[in-house]
Amino acid sequence: MERATRRQIVGMACLGAVALVAAVLFSPAAVVAKLEHLATHPVQFAFALVAVYLVRPFLLWPVSSIALVLGYVYGPMVALPIAIVGAGISGLPPFAVARYARSDAGLFGSVADTGRRLTDAVGETRGVLVARLSPIPGDPISYASGLSNVPLGAFLTGTLVGEIPWALVTVLAGDSMRTLSVTGFTLSPAAVLAIAGLGVIVLSGPLYSHFREPQPE
């Protein structure tokens, strides 16, 4: 195993250990309860919500847990746009961390090369959009986008549009709850398959055109 890959694996292990400790110390239930309590204080709630979205990737929480709270507290009309913008905000920290990591060697280099080949084939915005529509967890997509040098505008556009179906399903689920339960929430397999199917539809056109083009000899 080359030296760059070893260093990168050690770095990821250290980051994972820190995130695991933080996730244990700051339980989602406690934070969600605090957000619910602050819901009657809009200014404090807004600041707390932005802070939670920014630190969420390093606490190993799914972004859907926050959308669930928003749906429960505010209902879909208010919660949906906040959840979509929040997903974009929450993707920025891992994107920025990966953007400034060395991506020309080792494991990170392989991820970056794969990401660049995908964006060359389907486009940068569309590539992020399709990845967001897939069932892949959001944070690996953000890290891979940063490593692949996807422009910030393309990353945010693909993220905001691609998160709409997931945010809609989660916000509606939160709105329908009589008692808020973040830990017991799971998306139905039918919803996951339907949203992933949208990704296949979005991806099929450019991939077909790409592979139809004559390859240089």
For 41, other C-beta atoms within 10 Å of its C-beta total 11
CA dist 95 and 91 (Å) reads 6
Instruction: Output the average pLDDT for the chain.
Output: 76
What's the pLDDT score for residue 124? 86
Whether 112 contacts 149, CB under 8 Å:
yes
Confidence of residue 55 (pLDDT cuts 50, 70, 90): confident
Distance CA 21, CA 3 (A): 27
Stretch 194-206: mean pLDDT: 64
39: Cβ contacts below 8 Å, ≥ 6 apart? 45, 73, 74
Which pLDDT belongs to residue 9? Answer: 53
Q: The whole model's pTM is what? A: 0.74
Angle 110-157-153 from CA coordinates, rounded to 5° = 70
How confident is the model over 64-78, as pLDDT tens digits? 888 888 888 888 899
What are the pLDDT digits (tens) for 136-152? 888 889 988 888 888 99
* pLDDT, position 212: 54
